[in-house]
Structure 1
């Protein structure tokens, strides 16, 4: 009897060891958005007391489709969802709200007892690969800008990560798990394209992502704009009223960035900006030719300052001022006539 009891104990121990608990990452209850690369989106309003770091969440038209993909995972079946957009559109925020959603009539979020990994995003791809073997049940694997993990072709680390994730999705003893990825459209097309002429660059990535897409529109629909205006958050009302063609998220992301870039411009950039302001005051019109900016900005620098900036200071400064932010906007907008000179103007907000 003693030997039989010992055998049962061994079998039970082995069974328990094959059903791991989630030990990687951070509990969803303790997680904050900044761990997941969800940075505060504030618009331009700063001086109203009591406003939280981030804006209120506006329910988007794609949220139902997103929750429909998450629901089976909450019910016990592992799965993957990929949020896709052309540009900055609030993909991470949508995913964050989806996993924290509370069913009507229930007191707690439907994934309240889940874990998130990596504990802070982004993760090094090789560190992520090494840690996936320790993932246990009720874990959401958070992979925004997933091209950072998957884009290395062939037998590289990207396909290895995708292969392990596919195995994890089919491992009932370690589930349920939810894999959350976000991609811009161009990377989705690259990673899911069918191989041509026998050359398959991303086989496991393509198979992992198949059927997982949820498209996040780049612009707010009219209904979404109405929802934003009905919120008590004044930053949303500002964004809806000022954003071009429904690009509300891009306005919230880019406008504070534009203001900060203007306020913290380097010496060469500041000289160009001051020259542009002088030209506007002198009624030159909004579009300013390159040669005017080059000649005028030099007058805003002392000879010592110019020598300290180097020979390429003007072209480097123009490159920085025309660099597009995450929402697609730049401090200076460039227009190049066919076969003619280049012209520049301030972004509409500035």
Structure 2
């Protein structure tokens, strides 16, 4: 079995190519020669060069440069290879255009012969593939020298998953998606499944520059006998407002039925609510958008349910393994309701820390829970949390806090427990990555799920919504506004829609009109649609006219359309013709 220890350290300098003869070696050798001629700069220096070259499109980030030069990986995009060539050539005082042209040619030859991914014999670090770390000797109850992962206890879903692996081994491309709540062992089950594949197979985990972008760009380069690792599959298939997720789903469908690329094994994991969102049929109402059609067809027949708890038979098998690993017996004795994997990952301790937290720390955790439930992205800004947490404290609690109350609350939440992350931990940028202007924090997955199940956003304090308006990540504002609107919180929703518009999201005004219309506020809806049309959102014109007409205000509609036509709105004359037939 292939199993690994600590995470590999990334090199800061390029090593001489080690691959055998062929197009990939030619590509690497050309870059290595330029790298030496450029006086062997660090990857951070090269990334800084890229950011300063205004005509470089795209400008590769440090992770792309490190993967290409330090890890000897072929960039997923030809443009990235050419950009790296330009940076090196300029440092080496070479002709940048000529060298970029050469690298483009070598990249194309390598892409046609080198499949994506790493040989499975090199895939030894489960944590790099997002397997959760479990409690370890730092808990003070276990001896040193235990393997990084606890001994594995097979359950019925493992046998189901093995059938997909067997199908791939027989030469047929297939896909399996493990469905279960947070920390139930989905990713670990996938890790164990690939241990049964021969070393001649490869594994590809698309994450750079973003999960969906990487998948869409690279799927055409997948060769036979490859595992495509899609942990948190919804990140690849749900990309609101962009359509990118549907294109990824279509590309995966094409991959699975392409004989020249077979066999491939696509492995994914997903929470039940995301699975339900992707496979749900559109509503019966006329005009309902089928926003996940490709994903629904892709996922049909791929689901493998992973229970949240161990059954009696599972626990019997666990006790059979306990002699090999004391962590299993410890979990069996302390886990509630058979939730072994959650305990091993520290979930019960997370809940305990939350429930027994001092007022300021509890307020901070609840603000983070509500922000995630409202639709904010995983990375929660420092300013948002500080402004929101204050509103969760009573006057008496607030008056007793010291000046450094927020720093103390952060420290309480960040402290690790039983080998797992604390409730709220700072996101540390990787070496060479650009740092955000303020710290960002991530809420523990189990607490996020717990908050969704137990808390009601309608009871969130007013200050919480004020903090979102002022400090939430700007691209999230429209989703946050929709979330408030779905809960009947019209005033916060409209403030968030306004903030989204001010942040450059023009369609937010139309979305506000639709929310008001659905809530029965027709006059306000018309006003927002008209406001959206005034700034060039042509789709809002028809919505406003339809509402005016349906409510018997044809004269008002005609007057408004006449003014819009006078101002040069190209859609207005057509609507005038419909409302004034024969004129």
TM norm structure 1: 0.68
Equivalent residue, structure 1, for 2:118 = 26
Match of 1:54 in 2: 149
Question: Does the aligned pair in 2 maintain the 1:78–1:178 contact within 8 Å?
Answer: yes
Aligned with 1:244 (options 336, 340, 348): 336
TM-score (norm 2): 0.42
Distance in 2, matches of 1:182 and 1:248, equals 18
Q: 1: CA distance between counterparts of 2:195 and 2:314?
A: 20
Q: What's the secondary structure of 1:62's corresponding residue?
A: helix
**Per-residue CA shift, 1:225-257, capped at 9, x if unaligned?**
122222221111111111110011111112597
- Maintained 8 Å contact 1:42/1:54: no
Q: Which runs of 4+ in 1 moved over 4 A?
A: 19-22, 119-123, 259-262, 265-268, 291-299
Name whichever structure is richer in strand by fraction: 1
Question: Do residues 254 (structure 1) and 346 (structure 2) align?
Answer: yes
Conservation of the 8 A alpha-carbon contact between 1:253 and 1:326: no
SS at match of 1:148: helix
Cα deviation for residue 59 of structure 1 reads 1.0
Contact 2:227–2:267 under 8 Å retained in 1: yes
Q: Give the aligned partner of residue 303 of structure 2.
A: 213
Query: How far did 1:155 drift?
Result: 6.5
Aligned residue number for residue 12 of structure 1: none
User: Which stretch has the larger CA shift, 194-203 or 166-175?
Assistant: 194-203
What SS does the corresponding residue of 2:239 show, helix, strand or coil? coil
Residue matched to 2:128: 35
Deviation at 1:128, TM superposition (A): 2.1
CA contact (8 A) 1:77 1:175 kept: yes
**Is the 1:82–1:181 contact (alpha carbons within 8 Å) kept by the matching residues of 2?**
yes
Task: For residue 175 of structure 2, give the secondary structure of its aligned residue in structure 1.
Answer: strand
SS at match of 1:226: helix
Gaps of 5+ in 2: 1-108, 365-391, 414-422, 425-441, 460-583
Secondary structure of 1:29 counterpart: helix
User: Quick check: 2:134–2:346 contact (8 Å CA) kept in 1?
Assistant: no
Gaps of 5+ in 1: 1-16, 102-109, 273-290, 340-350
Counterparts of 1:217 and 1:181 in 2: how far apart (Å)?
16
Aligned mate of 1:95, from 179, 185, 190: 190
Residues 206 and 229 of structure 2 are in contact (CA less than 8 Å); yes or no, is this contact kept in structure 1? no
Match of 2:404 among 299, 302, 305: 305
Structure with the higher fraction of residues in helix conformation: 2
Q: Which region of structure 1 is more displaced relative to structure 2, 31-40 or 232-241?
A: 31-40
Query: Does structure 1 retain, via aligned residues, the 8 Å contact 2:179–2:272?
Result: yes
Change beyond 3 A, Cα 1:22–1:93: farther
Q: CA deviation at 1:51?
A: 0.7
Following the alignment from structure 1 to structure 2, what is the Cα–Cα distance between the partners of residues 134 and 75? Answer: 22
Larger Rg: 2
